[in-house]
Structure 1
Amino acid sequence: MATDADEKMISVNVTRPIWERVFTVAPLVVVGTREGEAYDLAPKHMAMPMGWTGHFGFVCT
């Protein structure tokens, strides 16, 4: 049974590592989500790759 949250989810293409698609001013990145026609963007500091497979982490205060 699909919920409203399931209908709002979008797929992220993970065939290419994220670091090949974004440019960062290390260690600052902008993390964003899209809900319908609206975007929610937030700067995050201390961002860093977490291994070689496209995972990343950041400090949130």
Structure 2
Amino acid sequence: MRIAIDTDRCIGAGQCALTAPGVFTQDDDGFSALLPGREDGAGDPLVREAARACPVQAITVTED
């Protein structure tokens, strides 16, 4: 699995971090970021739900 965050589109709503806190966080400016070592989702079943929860669809999840 590959996770990409479109930082130009992200508005910092934080829904991803609330939905899958083991994979997503927010940087110092409040925008979405992946936790170190979690770039592949780390098997978290909530990654896709976090992508769907993004109000501006800034997160893309694809299979390798």
TM-score, normalised to structure 1's length? 0.24
Greater fraction of residues in strand? 1
Per the normalisation by structure 2, the TM-score is 0.23
| Larger Rg computed on CA atoms | 1
